Structure 1
């Protein structure tokens, strides 16, 4: 409780003020990559002038024999380099496949979100949860809500507070639970989501710096992600029940801000319920179609030579199409049932709205594509990775300690640069080749990145939704502020980070498969 006089700031609050001040000095991601492009150009010129190069052994992809090769830095300020930068502007962007994958995925996701399917589905799952399992179901649904991040932040978190209040528990504990689940485990899911497509493409671009034929698929982290979802569900629920809820104690409704309505949206309308039934039928119909396309021997989506389905097959190579159709069909079916999207024209309008909202992301991708192309052309990443891997191999530093150190570095940087895509665009060209040289598969590096990029999202004020969560908390406690939210989220961040990293280490030591 605050008094008439302003209480002195605690050490934590002063620390957060500093973080926020420093974070506000970080420029827009586009500006960051423009600066990085300038650094790459200048660095390539300097290193090229000194003839920086590295000699290494590799397996020839044609003969499969070990051969000695050499890679030198190529300057972008030579005649050839300037020609490359000028003539490759459009090809760089057009070959940046992450753009196409993101747009295709958003065609379906846009329909599902605009029709109201995602919102209704989250609300339905929360409403039907039995009281004894409410915390676990909220945590589980919150983690899965990252398939549509906006819906998770805007719908799941406030509904978690309402659900807790409805069963006589402190609503702020519910809000904390929802925020930890949605933000703290953002990069893993039981479903393949648009973010996975971008991260995988960046990983493949980086892996090709070492092995031009090395690629991973959309489901390359699926087993680790599924286990992580279940594991983190238990962790988040345990922390809520054993640490957060006891600390908050019984709720005093007098603390609520004036005009707060706690029961709003607690029951689905008949139209929404009908929409969910239609969505289920539409999804079952789509699954039936894909069963016909995949299960029979000689089905068109099986590998025409080997007949395999999981692996190198049209089904797995075009998995993004299935994801898009799942959202599109179920979203449209929900819209028909609920009356929110009745005509094809309305569906097209929903898709157009979704694509329009990606304008800033597409522009960021344009700049990213130039950075990736320039970085690849100069061979800086290859030379750096090979040089560092040689030093690390000579120092006998194990791959696992290096992976854990990588997780820590990503987590610290996430306090100031929260975008998962922007950070991976920087880290992937350096760490994927480096660790591949140490015998670490690209799937493991990407799994490590998922851990480092996630928990800090729930504590950094630079998270785009952090201020929104502060507002949610203030509805139930008008005296709350940034420090309140951070103090609530600290136990989640610390324990999720430590235990999730431990899970990763055990997974790596046991040699378990990361995905398909």
Structure 2
């Protein structure tokens, strides 16, 4: 990546250039999974030919007695395997429920984004922040912005620079703060978001390699995520105030490039304010409806047999519907108030646009569904997990060191493969069963993945929005480049990774619940 800085490149910049070159050689995720499918086919044939199998003890689900079972690796290249490859192509995709969950969530999110509600809401939160609390509120809102995916990158980061400039602080520090908050904690939120649906579904598919009845809910990491959001918001704000802002010093407007964004968009228009008011009324109405459906003991969304609400109930099992409705209702109400989405036809158009934009993701899911199905059929993951868990149990290494090592591995891989979904599709079938055999809950493995997957997003040039952030910084400093961004983000990445990993370790050692 070229920069506007004519000075000789530092060692760090040369290193990052090398990382970028290597990263550019990494094929498209679809190609990666096609290669992995071929590898699984070949390995299944080889292992099956050598009779690879594992014998283990398990509890019979019907008799609840301990029994001995043997799992063999099945080949995808013999007659049975070829029949499976041919006949299961469509069933594999149709049973891949992550597709349905993602589309349902994006129906609502598409309306909220297209109406302008997400952008206006973020701007409103920035505007009402007191000067003394601006850093902490920006950090908190930046982390929460991941509920709308790209909105944080495209809206919160530049607005953080504008907000800092408006209160007389260095806008580069505001941009760094926004990037660290949006990217460095991307996998956690105080709300359930579409990404959670996919990660949980992959986790359940992997857990069923060990226990066919194993299942975790969409809210399985919610307590850890809520605490992580608060914890990381404080960490990001503290680093900004104590490390980044002092290093940058007083901003020199002479460094700004022509056409720099100053205080443009610092206030909401009358239409936007009315739209947010309408959205609030819509949310209130939706809350009233769901209170009627859940609070009474006879509520139809409670468990009809036990009356339970939090746990195994229609309300929790269909939580994705509530998320979709929140975005859909508030987005449409905002559109009516702001005049951006007035008619049902316009709302349908916003939904269609959102679904069209998912074309690449749906195709990726098609290939992913085949990989998951083939990997499950061969029993490679089961045999690998049982064999490794037996060796690790004998070595008495312990589950916590394995979890911490897993976090480090995910972080390193994230430098070259930034997609959270693609990496978890690879890691889940191996590490979830392995750690389950060591007594670790699937929820804990997923929480460890969240920790490892996020902080590096703020430092790898392979992040799709890294170049965008460089462009934002060049508005305020024409000499800014990749090295500028990396130098600013390194303290965030290091401290967020270390402190968040420590929080995870303490959580695991105390045996605290990860979620619902």
Please classify the TM superposition score into its range, dividing by the shorter chain length.
Answer: over 0.9
What corresponds to 2:194 in structure 1? 194
What is the rounded CA distance, in whole Å, between the counterparts of 2:193 and 2:137 in structure 1?
Answer: 20
Structure 1 residue runs without a partner (length 5+): none
1:150 to partner: Cα distance: 1.1
Return the alpha-carbon distance in structure 1 between the equivalents of residues 116 and 59 of structure 2: 52
Shift of 1:66: 1.8
Aligned to 1:10: 10
Separation (CA, whole Å) in 2 of partners of 1:152 and 1:5: 27
Q: Separation in 2 of the partners of 1:163 and 1:8?
A: 33
Deviation at 1:64, TM superposition (A): 2.0
- Residues 61 and 213 in structure 1, CA contact (< 8 A), matched pair in contact too: no
| TM-superposed deviation, 1:149 | 1.8
**Displacement after TM superposition at 1:400 (Å):** 0.3
Aligned to 1:417: 417
TM-superposed CA distance for 1:498, in Å, is 0.1
Residue in 1 that maps onto 2:383: 383
* 3-state secondary structure, aligned to 1:67: strand
| Matched residue, 1:360 | 360
Does the residue aligned with 2:348 lie in a helix, a strand or coil?
A: helix
Q: CA deviation at 1:10?
A: 1.3
Q: Deviations over 1:433-464 (max 9, x none)?
A: 00000000000000000000000000000000
- The match for 1:72 is 72
Residue 139 of structure 2 is matched in structure 1 by 139
1:344 aligns with 2:344: yes
1:462 corresponding residue in structure 2: 462
Residue in 2 aligned with 1:510? 510
Structure 2 runs not aligned, ≥5 long: none
Q: TM-score, normalised by structure 2?
A: 0.99
- The alignment partner of 2:71 has SS state of strand
Aligned partner of residue 229 in structure 2, secondary structure? helix
1:445 & 1:118 partners in 2: Cα distance?
31
Distance apart, 1:67 and its partner CA? 1.4
Determine the C-alpha separation between the residues in 2 that align with 1:62 and 1:464. Answer: 50
Matched, 1:496 2:501: no
Contact preservation (8 Å) 2:5, 2:480: no
Q: How far has the Cα of 1:302 moved from its partner?
A: 0.3
Residues 256-295 of structure 1 mapped to structure 2, 5 A cutoff: 256-295=256-295
Deviations 1:276-333 (A, max 9, x none): 0000000000000000000001210000100000000000000000000000000000
Q: Does 1:103 align with 2:108?
A: no
The answer as to whether partners of 2:5 and 2:481 remain within 8 angstroms in 1 is no
Match of 1:485 in 2: 485
Tell me by how many angstroms 1:6 deviates.
Answer: 4.0
The superposition leaves residues 161-195 of structure 1 with CA deviations (integer Å, 9 ceiling, x where unpaired) of 00000000000000000000000000000000000
Query: Deviation at 1:65?
Result: 2.0
2:43 paired with 1:43? yes
Q: Is the 8 A contact 1:382 1:433 kept in 2?
A: yes
Report Cα offsets for 1:36-92 as digits up to 9, x if no partner: 000000000000000000011112222222211110000000100000000000000
Return the alpha-carbon distance in structure 1 between the equivalents of residues 127 and 59 of structure 2.
57
Between the aligned partners of 1:477 and 1:297, the Cα distance in structure 2 is 60
The Cα RMSD (Å) is: 0.8
Which aligned segments of 4 or more residues in structure 1 are displaced greater than 3 angstroms? Answer: none
Tell me, what secondary structure is at the counterpart of 1:57? strand
Show the counterpart of 2:167.
167
What does residue 299 of structure 1 align with?
Answer: 299
Q: Note the alpha carbon deviations across 1:135-175, whole angstroms, 9 max, x for none.
A: 00000000000001211000000000000000000000000
CA–CA distance in 2 between the matches of 1:109 and 1:322? 12
User: Within the alignment, does 1:398 sit opposite 2:392 as a pair?
Assistant: no
* CA deviation vs aligned residue, 1:318-363 (integer Å, no higher than 9, x gap): 0000000000000000000000000000000000000000000000
2: CA distance, partners of 1:147 / 1:487: 28
Q: Please name the residue that 1:116 is paired with.
A: 116
